[in-house]
Structure 1
Amino acid sequence: MQYLIPLLALGATTANAYADIAKFVEAQRLASRASIVPFPPIGGIPRLNGTVPFDASAQLVSVSGNHAWIAPGPTDQRGPCPGLNAAANHNYLPRDGIATFPTVQTGLFEAYGLDQSATEVLQQTTTFFDGDPVTQSWSIGGYSPKTAALGGALDFLGQESGICGYGHLKSEGDASITRGDFTSPGNMNSNCASYPVFFQQLLDLACETNGCNINMATLAAHQNNRKLYSIANNPTYFSPAFAGVAFTPAAHHFVYALMANHSAEYPQGILTPETLMSFFSYTYESDGKTLSYTYGHERIPDNWYKRALTDSWTLADILAAVAQQCLAYPNTCEVGGNTGTVNSFAGIDVGDLSGGVFNASVFTDPAQLGCFLAQNIQAEAPSFLSNVLQGPLLPQVLGLVTSSLVPTLAKGFGECNGINVKGGNMGNTSAVKTLGDYSAKYPGAAVVYDGARATSPNP
């Protein structure tokens, strides 16, 4: 089977990989605009057969001693990301669920093989969107006073959200793998808890397409199905550029990239339903068929082997996989949302959103996709911070956008074809739009920062 992303040697540089991908994508687009491009079973920058090693002693992840599984306590934070929850339950992240820069950098590589090129960007954006840029800490669940530089006193100045609850539209979006849409009507609108109906849909899809094992193509199709479901059932469904078009597909891809079990037979990994159920905190009831979910009890399985140390999942892999998603399922990569009724999805022009710098083709070119996301992150961060923080702390934190966030984006995404990320000038910044500019037409684009669900243990 021929895929749009060419096979690249593992030693190829990110820049060369991006250039080759872009050229091949454009050639294929001109050759056949109408064809649907299949998502590869293993996404990201493709690895040549035989180049991924397996070292059992180096890849076995410890789940004993200091890393033994312990259920979270009543004040420990757990949220929408099963990988983060499992890492905290095994002490690869702090057991209280308050992540910091050093624990994210080391813990997610030790547990899963997530490369630091990815964790640096994810850590910084999450800190600025959902946590405390001063302490460089954030909650993997909902609100916690532990993240704030001023502790509980910050409640008088504003509340940091964590990544679920009021982290919605910042680092968490609608149409997630198994969580609910935060603003959806009905009783399945927790973006922290997992819903068995969505998990079962993923298992069924795997059985229909891949002998019941889950691969990345399964997850790409599931992401498409979840977006279609949200459009048909949530009148306020909204998909912003970062949390919706980039982060939500990337989170689906993470499931295979970071949870597949590796062996000499399967050096690139295999993800069975049993492994997935452990990571997502599911068991079967006594009938052997009905799924049962326990909030926050995600677990790394025994005898589980992570990615090879020389084959970590990088930022380049994340961008390539999102581009593959956009090629295979173009509708999943449309910015926009419903306009107040179900099935009323209306897209937002990328040129309008980016101040004329980018167009829709950005989503199928990993290098330009990274630049577009860097622009969007840089534009949204001051708005998010200004709505959360007040008083003397706000100018200090806004200053960190330039001194801390922008250098991280520059390191991760580069100079972006003349758009000076490093200098903080992503084109005509006055013309770049944020979520608030679209809230009149799209009710789901109105970011909510406080209210009855802000401090709920299960928002």
Structure 2
Amino acid sequence: MRCSLLLAASAATSVLAFPWMTPEGLDALMKHPSAQEEVKRKLAEYEAGKADNIEARQVGTGLVPGVVSLLGGTPTAVYDNVLGLIPTGDSVKGLKKFPEAEYPFKAPGPTDQRGPCPGLNTLANHGYIPRNGIATIGQINAGTARLFNMGADLSSLLATGGALDGGDILSQKMSIGGPDNRVGVLNGALNSVFGTPTGIAGHGKFNEGDASATRLDFYLNNGDNIVFVPELFKQMHQQALAKGNGTYSVDAIQEHFKNRYRDSRAANSQFYFNLPSAGVVMGAYYFIPGFFSNGTIGAGGVANEASITSFYGAKPKDTSANAWQNPDLEYTHVPERIPEQGWYRRATPMTIPEAVAGILDVYLYAKPAIGGAGADQNWVVGPVDIPNNPQALSCFLYNALYANFPGDLFNSLSLLSSIVSTLSSTIVPGYKALGCKVDFPQATGKGSTYRSVYESWAKTYTGEAKTKAVGSGWYQK
């Protein structure tokens, strides 16, 4: 959940200049002369185009044919979980068993933030990120890498999006749940002036959206898009039985998404499903088998009942041996945790190419309309020409990400220019690594001219749904 897109591809020293790419505990390694020499050597090989000298990771999704290395000839994993830009074999050593004794489970306290993401809740409940649920980009980067083997490009993209849209980008801090006065300029001291950041649960922001797997839409639950809804998990369980032979497979979660989109759009008069947040929502469905499987999905890993229920905190009311076979099995909710009986994380990091391939599979299966409900109940379309291959869609989503933030931030932050500059600098390296043409508008200055440049360009990637759909949180009657 973040944006290791912070790595400048032009010099090793610039790679080391971004503190959120050196999570706690890695600063000494980054400053070690031998480590710097190795980074510079491999970076020089990379820049010289010696792709054969760089070890490419095999993502092996088994989803979109051919997605075992990044399309276009660049390495599958351009960002390493430890050293950043340079792929190495060190983070692909194979399966690792959890839980770990040094990260015991502890239920959250009354002031601890928890949100709609079961993965982040699990990380906080075990102390991989701060247990209070207030975390920095670097802490999320380190925690997701250690427990879930999430690639630094993917985790940094998601976490940076959360900090920009729902946190405080100056401190790179965010709540993994709702608003919290411990987050904000000067640790919240100026929230009375600037407002309290929404947290990643902020509706219409980057990380949260309608048609969630186990949470109700913001406008369908009196603004509560955080609480776990047992009936929705039961529906996902039914698809695991019907489509996944008892497992929460890609086929099962695709069908669950298709049904959730249908039901959510029918019930929610302010339904909003537009890029880039729609991509995050569909990605979250793929993450269920992609990260919570016992082992690596596509390589023998199984998204079984024990693993998925533990990470979601879905406790079956009937715990008898064969109860899981019952499609009418009822659930309650308990704090999310790593399966107590033991669980193996995926062996290879999930990087952006695999994640986007998963998003594309979910999208092509359900064919959801992209856009949002307008004020008069009409459908306001989002972008109309969405690519249907992983590399092109990756580039498109980067543009949508960039197009999304200026509109959200113009009226809420006086530091827009520096924030947009930060966003651009974090996105460009990863964008180039995917083989994308960098064409973000180079607007400068402030005011209406600055805004119009972005609004005109962004229409291609977010469509009018960004500004005219009521559920976007942006619409004004």
Q: TM tier, shorter chain? A: 0.7 to 0.9
What do residues 329-387 of structure 1 show as CA deviations (whole Å, max 9, x unaligned)?
222xx32123458xx6625152xxxxxxxx5242x122222222222222221232234
* Closer/same/farther in 2, CA of residues 204 and 153 from structure 1, 3 Å limit: same
Code of the residue aligned with 1:282 in structure 2: it is A
Distance, in Å, in 2 between the alignment partners of 1:67 and 1:4 is 33
Taking structure 1 as the reference length, the TM-score comes to 0.75
Selected match of 1:61 from 82, 94, 98: 98
Q: Which runs of 5+ in 1 are unaligned?
A: 20-52, 351-358, 450-459
Secondary structure of residue in 1 paired with 2:219: coil
Deviation of the 1:140 alpha carbon: 0.5
Cα 1:188–1:252 shift into 2, 3 Å: farther
**Partner Cα distance (1:17, 1:428) in 2:** 32
The aligned residue for residue 204 of structure 1 is: 238
Shift of 1:276: 1.1
Aligned counterpart, 1:170: 206
Counterparts in 2 of 1:269 and 1:301: CA distance versus 1, 3 Å: same
8 Å contact 2:112–2:133 — kept in the other structure? yes
2:270 is aligned with 1:236: yes
Task: Decide which of 136, 140, 143 is 1:107's aligned counterpart.
Answer: 143
Give the unaligned 5+ runs of structure 2.
Answer: 1-61, 77-91, 321-328, 445-451
Cα distance in structure 1, aligned partners of 2:129 and 2:206: 21
2:380–2:464 Cα contact (<8 Å) kept: no
The 8 Å contact of residues 79 and 163 in structure 1, kept in 2 or not, is answered as: yes
Q: Which residue of 2 aligns with 1:307?
A: 346
Amino acid at match of 2:143: G
User: Is the alpha carbon distance of 1:286 and 1:272 closer, same or farther for their aligned partners in structure 2, counting shifts above 3 Å?
Assistant: closer
For residues 259-408 of structure 1, the aligned pairs below 5 Å read 259-262=292-295, 267-285=299-317, 289-294=329-334, 297-302=335-340, 303-308=342-347, 311-331=348-368, 334-339=369-374, 346=379, 348=381, 350=383, 359-362=384-387, 364-389=388-413, 394-395=414-415, 398-402=417-421, 404-408=422-426
In the alignment, the residues of structure 2 paired with residue 153 and residue 117 of structure 1 have an alpha-carbon distance, to the nearest angstrom, of: 32
Q: Is residue 249 of structure 1 aligned with residue 282 of structure 2?
A: yes
Which residue type is aligned with residue 299 of structure 1?
A: R
Change in 2 beyond 3 A, CA 1:420/1:360: closer
Maintained 8 Å contact 1:374/1:421: no
SS at match of 1:76: coil
Could you say what the CA RMSD is over the residues aligned between the two structures, in angstroms? 3.2
Q: Taking structure 1 as reference, are residues 379 and 323 closer, same or farther at Cα in structure 2, changes over 3 Å only? A: same
In structure 1, which of residues 427, 435, 444 is the aligned counterpart of residue 471 of structure 2? Answer: 444
Does the 8 Å CA contact 2:274/2:466 hold for their aligned counterparts?
Answer: no
Deviation, structure 1 residue 103: 1.1
1:189: Cα distance to partner?
5.3
1:15 aligned to 62, 72, 84, which one? 72
- Aligned residue identity for 1:163: I
Which residue of structure 2 aligns with residue 121 of structure 1?
Answer: 157
Q: Secondary structure at the match of 1:183?
A: helix
Question: What SS does structure 1 have at the residue aligned with 2:182?
Answer: helix
SS in 2 for 1:151: coil
C-alpha distance in structure 2 between counterparts of 1:98 and 1:436, whole Å: 33
Q: 2:151–2:349: 8 Å Cα contact kept in structure 1? A: yes
Letter in 1 for 2:154: A
Equivalent position of 1:49 in the other structure: none
CA contact (8 A) 1:18 1:366 kept: no
Superposed displacement of residue 204, structure 1:
0.4
2:457 to 432, 446, 450: 432
- Indicate conservation of the 8 Å contact 2:293/2:301, yes or no: yes
Contact 1:436–1:445 (CA under 8 A) maintained in structure 2: no
Segment drifting more, 199-208 vs 320-329: 320-329
Kept after mapping to 2: 8 A contact 1:125/1:405: no
- How many Å separate the matches in 2 of 1:146 and 1:14? 42
Partner in structure 2 of residue 6 of structure 1: 65
Q: Any idea what SS the aligned residue of 2:248 has? A: coil
